[in-house]
Amino acid sequence: MVIYYSSTGNSKHVALRLQETLKGDLIDVSCLEGHPIFYLEDEETLFFVTFNCFWGISNRMETFIRKSEFYNVSKIIVIITCGGYLGGGDASIEKLFLEKGLPKPTVYSLVMVTNYSILHDVPSLEAQKEKLIRAEKALSKIIQGTQKTYHSNWLIRQLTPKIHAQYEKARITSPFTVNSSCISCGLCEKNCPVHAIEIKENKPFWVLPKCDNCLRCLHRCPVEAINYGDSTRNRLRYTYESCTQD
């Protein structure tokens, strides 16, 4: 079983490749509500694929794991995609599974392309393509079982709660703006995994004070009308699909 959560397509691509090879169920956390219950087959591996979020996982994924029930789990493999550095992301997810009484996961870090354009530039299209070629090779090694697993060191683990605490501040929706190029297509409202956006009088409004800060709305707006404060204004948008379409 492969459970994934993805905003700009990196983790979705990884999940699809895993499922292609392993078969079994493919579950998109963005589409799940309520209190899911999962039963695994004997000897079945439970895979999670998600994106690194301030050296942890996003609120939506964490809440999903906390609320869900998993039965007959003997092995968990987690692949965390990131833009450059996973930090103590492995420690965060290990803690979460142990608190749930689940087995300690094997964690892989997979460097793809960053979508966190609030803090830094998205690389040029050429650089994105190079990064994704490297990521594809690393992913093949993960699937074959020849890739090194990820273990953050003691110091990084000490720093991780402080770094991840920054995420709470980043979840505030008030800095989101929409400019006049908006064509009222409604995609941002439809795509938001936490229903933080509503279209009113043909324009999006952020109706929750906090969201997942996944940046799906910003990167997937077809006319790049959405920004977060000033920092994203002149920065590239990124999706896995647009980078790999030709």
Ligand X SMILES: Cc1cc2nc3c(=O)[nH]c(=O)nc-3n(C[C@H](O)[C@H](O)[C@H](O)COP(=O)(O)O)c2cc1C
- Give residues in contact with ligand SF4 (CB under 6 A): 178, 182-188, 191-194, 196-197, 204, 211-217, 221-223, 225-226
Are 69 and 38 in contact by the 8 Å Cβ rule? The answer is yes
The C-alpha angle 78, 136, 244, rounded to 5 degrees, equals: 115
Q: Which does 193 bind (CB under 5 to 8 A by kind): ligand X, ligand SF4, none?
A: ligand SF4
Quick one: which of 29, 53, 142, 243 contacts ligand X (CB under 6 A)? 53
Q: What is the CA radius of gyration of the chain?
A: 18
* Residue 82 engages ligand X in binding (rule: CB under 6 A): yes
Total of chain residues touching ligand X, rule CB under 6 A: 28
Subset of 146-185 contacting ligand X (CB under 6 A): 170
Alpha helix ranges (H) inside the chain: 10-22, 59-67, 89-99, 125-144, 154-170, 187-191, 216-220, 240-244
Smallest distance from ligand X to CB 115, Å: 4
Give the CB-nearest residue to ligand SF4: 211
Quick one: which of 1, 2, 3, 6 contacts ligand X (CB under 6 A)? 6
* Residue 112 engages ligand X in binding (rule: CB under 6 A): yes
Quick one: which of 2, 3, 9, 92 contacts ligand X (CB under 6 A)? 9
The residue (of 179 and 244) whose beta carbon lies closer to ligand X is 244
Residue 158's contacts (CB-CB under 8 Å, 6 or more residues apart) are none
Are 204 and 198 in contact by the 8 Å Cβ rule? The answer is yes
> Which residue in this structure is represented by tokens 């050429």?
126
* Residue 39 engages ligand X in binding (rule: CB under 6 A): no
Q: Both tokens of residue 218?
A: 């910003």
Q: Which does 192 bind (CB under 5 to 8 A by kind): ligand SF4, ligand X, none?
A: ligand SF4
* Residue 8 engages ligand X in binding (rule: CB under 6 A): yes
Quick one: which of 52, 59, 92, 173 contacts ligand X (CB under 6 A)? 52
Query: Can you give 16-47 as a three-state secondary structure string?
Result: HHHHHHHCCCEEEHHHCCCCCEEECCCCCEEE
The residue (of 45 and 191) whose beta carbon lies closer to ligand X is 191
d(CA 87, CA 82): 10
* Residue 48 engages ligand X in binding (rule: CB under 6 A): no
Taking alpha carbons only, the member of 227, 216, 239 closest to residue 29 is 216
Smallest distance from ligand SF4 to CB 51, Å: 11
* Residue 54 engages ligand X in binding (rule: CB under 6 A): yes
Q: At what angle do helices 59-67 and 89-99 cross, to 10 degrees?
A: 20
Residue numbers at the binding site for ligand X (CB under 6 A): 6-12, 51-55, 81-85, 87, 112-116, 170, 213-215, 240
